[in-house]
Amino acid sequence: MGAVVTEKWIHRYEPAPDADRRLVCFPHAGGAAPYFVPVARAMAGDTDVLAVQYPGRQERRQEPCLGSIDELARAAVDALAPWLDRPVTLFGHSMGAMVAFEAARLLERDGRAPQGLVVSGRRAPTCVRPTRDLVHLRDDEGLMAEIRGMDGTDDRILADEELLRMILPVIRGDYRAVEGYRYRPGPPLSCPVLALTGDTDPQVTPEEARSWAEHTTGRFDITVFPGGHFYLNSQGEAVIRAIAEHMSAADSPRAR
């Protein structure tokens, strides 16, 4: 696919033009760029935080969702081209971890390897759970039940069934991309990887998160927080601190 218009894909809430590093944030399924506003505010000054905005939501709601993780990663990498003038760390939660990982692989293949990768709330791509129940094939009630069970959607949206049904196509499209993803074997990344997870997340066990170590020849660390799939909502300060420490450690020779 050709180059995309950067303004559509990249949101920059707290510009830090003098920062010597960048953090690029990739949202979860059904999520949008503003989810990372607290990260941008907390890291403003020493880190220039960018948030990826996928098509199909908010100001991009008239655009169709992309059909695969690979398409999302390729489009995001195209949009990031003007922002690679300084070290970049990629950070993704849940579906965003998958997009960030594939984006990191593309960047490394193109000779523009990121300085680091932070993957949150997602099993390593080689950890495949057998399933007969594909969420994206459920009816609307089944899809809404899945959303409610994740405890990550604003209560005001969950209470407004009409609004919830409006966003269901986007969520269904994202789940279709996630459930259609197939890992393609390839060289491991060279950058350090940090895995973050909640200790009661039904989507990933700490052991499955540790398997991310297989996907880098660089340093690997894991931090397990109290909480479920959206542990970030209650552990925000600690998560941001862990990411900042990971970025700082990436400057150390031991990280490579």
How many beta carbons lie within 10 A of that of residue 255, not counting itself? 18
- At what angle are helices 69-80 and 161-179 packed, to 10 degrees? 90
CA angle, 194 then 16 then 119, to 5°: 15
Q: What type of residue is 9?
A: W
Q: Does the annotation mark 229 as catalytic?
A: yes
How far apart (Å, rounded) are the C-alpha atoms in residues 251 and 245? 10
CA 92 to chain centre: 2
Separation of alpha carbons 218 and 256, rounded Å: 5
Catalytic residue among 11, 28, 93, 94: 94
Q: Are strands 220-225 and 193-198 parallel, antiparallel or unpaired?
A: parallel
211 is catalytic: no
- Out of 11, 28, 229, 246, the active site residue is 229
**Catalytic positions, written as ranges:** 94, 229
